[in-house]
Structure 1
């Protein structure tokens, strides 16, 4: 049997494991609309997915009075919480995670979600016990700062060079680059493929199926 290339596999959540990109975009736009602010274009709203919520709103709505950002965040949360129970995992995610767990990989999540938001999602999908550790944007520096990956590897006693970060945004892949880890892109989430490939991932998957097969053969 070939020696494993990685010991720790870290996943982004939204747009990578959870099919939530469209819902997040609509909630950002609805929050702006509620407050009579310029409504960001779909591509601009999608581009901030993966950042901490405060940072995301600042980038999605860069020209508003800074005093309004807490209200934008509040309206975003209102809209998101009203529909997060409707969101589902991408097809094949649970099977992929269970197979990886059976092969004794360490599994983790590094996400722009808040701790409360991630715990809701993990409990709602039944995946809470699947991950050895998780890191959220309200607990440390936002992506693409390397802190999430650095903290996860320290917590689990793993080597950053034998760690891979899997995500649908350049924020995920740049975090991996900044930390000295490897990165894998998934093309079915928030960021355009050319932007993902500019971050030099070791692999780029067009579907969960492709990702699962690559991990089974190469990870």
Structure 2
């Protein structure tokens, strides 16, 4: 039986501070359809969901065709913003160092489970020099939206890691509920887009310096 551990990261709000570009891309998408952008809190509350599910929740009264156009407009605007503005979407403090520390361990593999599209994730990885770092990269294109456990179960299957040896690191209730449904441990971070008191993780860390110890406590 493999003794490998798997640490699965969410992206937006966990590794990457992407709220400025999310709001800008949402603004462009809503403007393209002549619609009023919802309040910031409402927009950030759906971060982590697939875009199709996000727009269903934000705009339940518009038909599926218009929701589809909003999704396409958001994707185009988001990629354009990432291409034009190199200052957008920085890593949260300590994120890269934490990733590098975990990579040094022979018993630990890393994965991503994100509501981003493949195209959007590729831009993020390229910008931050993270190509080839993660052993499994699960994106919204190929799975039902969080909190469905499909992303985590696929990552476990790809890496050969058992459920009791895996942990999800995230900032939203969608991440925590996905982990719970997949039967893996949960580490919450308070710097993202959902209130920390709503997460109910197995461990809550205040900064990335505390991640290693939290993983060790949960997975050994």
Tell whether 2:44 aligns with 1:46.
yes
Which whole-Å CA distance do the structure 2 matches of 1:93 and 1:80 have between them?
22
Tell whether 2:85 aligns with 1:87.
no
CA-CA distance at 1:215 after TM superposition: 3.8
Which whole-Å CA distance do the structure 1 matches of 2:20 and 2:104 have between them?
32
Q: 1:146 is matched with which residue?
A: 149
Flag the 1:218–1:163 CA change in 2: closer, same or farther, 3 A: closer
CA-CA distance at 1:23 after TM superposition: 2.2
Q: Among residues 152, 156, 161, which one is paired with 2:159 in the alignment?
A: 156
Tell whether 2:150 aligns with 1:117.
no
Flag the 1:108–1:168 CA change in 2: closer, same or farther, 3 A: same
SS at match of 1:75: helix
Which whole-Å CA distance do the structure 1 matches of 2:146 and 2:133 have between them?
23
TM-score (norm 2): 0.89
Gaps of 5+ in 1: none
Tell whether 2:187 aligns with 1:189.
no
* Larger CA deviation: 159-168 vs 29-38: 29-38
TM-score (norm 1): 0.89
Which whole-Å CA distance do the structure 1 matches of 2:180 and 2:54 have between them?
21
CA-CA distance at 1:79 after TM superposition: 2.3
* Larger CA deviation: 70-79 vs 38-47: 70-79
Q: Which runs of 4+ in 1 moved over 4 A?
A: 216-219
